[in-house]
Every structure is written in C-alpha cells, then in structure tokens.
Amino acid sequence: MVEENQIPIVLVIDDSELIHRLLETRLQGEHLVLHFTKSSDEGFKKAVEKNPDLILLDVEMEGMDGFGLLEKLKEDPRTRNIAVIFIAATSESKDRARGLDMGAIDFISKPFDTSELKARVRNALRTQHLMKMLEQKAQIDALTGIGNRRYFDQRLIQEISQAKRHPRPFSLVLCDLDRFKRLNDRFKHTFGDVVLERVAQILSGGRTSDIVCRWGGEEFGLILPSTNVQQGYEVAERLRIDIELAVWPGKQDLVVTASFGICDTEIFSEEVTPKAMLDMADSALYTAKQNGRNRVEVARKKKSIKIPLEKNNSPSK
Amino acid sequence: MLDDDKLPNTPIVSSYINDDGMAKIINVFLDKIPKSIADLEANFTSANKDNFCKLVHQFKGAGGGYGFAIITKTAAGIEMKLRISKKEWKEEIQKNMDEFITVLQRVHAGRGLSGHT
C-alpha cells in the first residue's frame, strides 16, 4: 500500500556510465533514490526486484533497445504499472510518438537541461503517486478500511507465484461470522456494520506480515505468508478467541463468534491455484459450520463432503 | 563564452565551469577522453562500424550534459552521415572524424583551465 512519506525509487537504464554519473549529479537533492543498470536484460531484472516508481530508459542500447524493453515491461503484470520516461539522444518525432504510443509517459532529450529534467521527473513521480493512491482506493473496503475482494484475489495470485519461486508454505484462512443475519435482524444493520468494523480490526491486529481482507458480506480472507497450517491454526485460533471475547458497546451480554477454515500450500500434490486453495479453505470453513460454529477447521487432503457452490463460487453457509 | 567553431586551436572549457556540483564529474569525463580517442581511432581504423557508432552515440548523448555542446553537435553530424552512408562509410566521414578528434583534444586540453583542476 502507498505510504505518504515513502521515498520514490527511480531506475536508470542506460548503457553509458557517463549518463549515470550525470543523472546522479543532476538529480542530487531530489526526494528520490536512484538505481542504475547498463543493459535491458539487467534493467528488466532490477525493475522486477526493486519495483521502482519510475524508469528513465535509454532508447539506443546494445541487444534489446529501449522500445523492446518497454514492450517487455508493459507485457509483464509485475512491471506494467511502472512509469517510464525515455531519455534519448534522438529528436525524431516518429521515435517520440512510437515511445508514447507504447506506453512511455514522457521523453527527455539528451543533453539534458537540468531544470527541465528535474521538472519532468518530479511531474512523473507526482502522477505515479496519485495513480497508486487511486489504485489503492479501488482495493480498499469502504466500511472496514481493510483490503477488498479485488485486493485479496491479487495478493493471493502474488503469494502463490512467490511460493512457486521460493518454495515455502503459506496459509489461507477464510473467516465467517456466525449467525450474522440473525444479529443484523435483532440489532439493525448499523450495529452489524459496527461488528464488521471491529472484527476487521481484530483480524488486522495480528502479525504485520499477514494480509487481511473483507472477502464478501460477513466473510473475511487472510493470507498468512511463510506460515504452515499448524502455525496458521494457532493464528486463527487466537483470532477466534479475540472475537469471542470482544465487548460490544451497550450490549454487555452479546457474544459474537466466527468460524474459520484454513489450508496451506503443502496440502497440494498437484499445482496450487487460487481456486483450489479457496475451495479447500472453504470446505474447511463449511466443516467448522457443520461442527457447531465458533471453531477453526483445517482442510484435509481427501474431503468426503461435497460442498454445494453457488454460481459465483463464493462459500455457501 | 568561447566561440568554439571559430577558434580551432584553443582549449574548450565546459559551460558548467561555475557549477560546483558538476566539477568532479566533468573531470572524470575529461580523464576518459584520451582512452575514448584511442578507442574511436582503433574502431575507425579496423572499420568496426557498430562499436564506432556506439562510441559516437555515447558522446552525442553525454557531451552537452557535461557542458560541451560542441561534442554533441559534432557527434550528431557523424551519426547522421553514418546513418545514410554504406560501404565506403570511412571515406565519407573521414573529415568529420578528424574534426571530432580535434574537438575532443581541445576539450581535453581545457582540463586544468578556469576551474577544471
């Protein structure tokens, strides 16, 4: 998520060390961190690794040129949203038009005019910051302030991809408030909203590395990085107890409970997919509901219970 | 400021001579010039057009940034000719090459003058 005071990262991809030094000197004092590479291949790797806010990209380089690299950056979901400014010794308008059509946001001509260089870089970083904020807003649940379903789905894909590259398990937890409809009917929806907000706070109050999202109405999804199912069970159990013990304003006797279903990546002998993980965690959640609610259930390898799924594949309880 | 085109034998100093922040990297740039001249001449003599083009292109991009607009201008002239020339490219750019080497030598000769130490 975007932080207000985060220092922007700018990656320079240019085969000339003289240009590296020049940019370093000319951009000294700007609120940014610079990284440098001399080739497109190395530049692409660094773009994935550093996830910069802006790339200053040379057009003419040995091997893959700037246009080729821009195409590659725009094709890859990990680098697609990085702003790219071409720095080019060419002044030909067809090259500029080509670069802009391909997704570059600006062109800076070599040799640089320092004040123009700084202004264009600042402008690009400002726009990029606003874009990230907009994107972030689109991923936040308006009521609870935690990530929404869209954000959850994205992060789940990312975590699975990470887990494939660096083999380590992670756990997926689905949490559903028990008899929430009854609570809404009894205390009205405004109180239901208070419960959802408070539960979101409780779920987010665990480990900082955990990703907590509102998955649907009264359902929450948690991604627990580098966590196997035993550790995940302990996390979920603590959260379950915290929800059960929560005190509700003006309703001293009220007890709100939640059921949890959990699975981790180690349960899968075949390829792990978001759908497969969600189905597994959902099965476990269903079992928790069947077994009396207010409990945590772990997904087992071979489920004998067939889960009735709705058309949109959301859990049915 | 010197009118570089009209005083062919005089040293050339950077237009950023009074820019304190630039002094250090201008000297690095100037220190690299003798080797760059040798590389340019070697690639020209051996007719290694790709490497020669790359060196000229780098000077075109960097020269003006270090306060030597004449480097960018001269390199751009060579680059343009290289783009349209074919087999006899060496003959076609010989005059521009000589001019370019002279410019680089004059720039290097400016090291130590008026602030380049």
Confirm whether B89 is domain-assigned. yes
Taking alpha carbons only, the member of A88, A117, A63, A55 closest to residue B72 is A88
Confirm whether B46 is domain-assigned. yes
- Rounded to the nearest angstrom, the minimum Cα separation between A88 and chain B is 7
Could you give the CA distance from residue B72 to residue B100 in angstroms, rounded to a whole number?
10
Q: What ipTM is given for this predicted complex? A: 0.81
**In chain A, which residue's Cα lies nearest the Cα of B72?**
A111
Confirm whether B3 is domain-assigned. no
- Rounded to the nearest angstrom, the minimum Cα separation between A66 and chain B is 15
Could you give the CA distance from residue A100 to residue A118 in angstroms, rounded to a whole number?
20
Could you give the CA distance from residue B97 to residue B49 in angstroms, rounded to a whole number?
13
> How many structural domains does chain B have?
1
Q: Averaged in consecutive runs of 10 residues, what is the pLDDT profile of chain A (317 residues)?
A: 73 93 93 95 95 94 89 93 89 83 91 89 93 86 93 92 85 97 92 96 91 95 94 96 94 94 87 92 96 95 45 40
Which position among A218, A237, A266, A271 bears the catalytic label? A218
Confirm whether B15 is domain-assigned. no
Residue B104 sits in a domain whose CATH number is 1.20.120.160
Confirm whether B11 is domain-assigned. no
Whether A218 is a known active-site residue: answer yes
Q: Is A34 helix (H, G, I), strand (E, B) or coil?
A: strand
pLDDT in tens, B82-98: 888 777 888 889 999 99
Confirm whether B83 is domain-assigned. yes
Range of the domain at B57: 22-109
**In chain B, which residue's Cα lies nearest the Cα of A29?**
B21
Axis crossing angle, helix A149-165 with helix A274-290, rounded to the nearest 10? 120
- Rounded to the nearest angstrom, the minimum Cα separation between A39 and chain B is 14
* Close Cβ partners of A171 (under 8 Å, ≥ 6 residues apart): A223, A224, A227, A228, A229, A231, A232, A235, A262, A263, A264, A265
Contact between chains at B60 and A89 (C-beta distance less than 8 A): yes
pLDDT of residue A316: 39
Using CB atoms within 10 A of its CB, is residue A198 exposed (0-12), middle (13-18) or buried (19+)? middle
Residue A173 backbone phi and psi in degrees, to 5: -120, 130
Query: Could you tell me the pLDDT band of residue B114, with boundaries at 50, 70 and 90?
Result: low
pLDDT of residue A308: 41
Contact between chains at A22 and B25 (C-beta distance less than 8 A): yes
Could you give the CA distance from residue A178 to residue A259 in angstroms, rounded to a whole number?
7
Using CB atoms within 10 A of its CB, is residue B37 exposed (0-12), middle (13-18) or buried (19+)? middle
Confirm whether B116 is domain-assigned. no
Confirm whether B7 is domain-assigned. no
Could you give the CA distance from residue A173 to residue A159 in angstroms, rounded to a whole number?
14
**In chain B, which residue's Cα lies nearest the Cα of A20?**
B62
Q: Which domains does chain A have, with CATH numbers?
A: 9-137 (3.40.50.2300), 149-298 (3.30.70.270)
Residue A91 or residue B25, greater confidence: B25
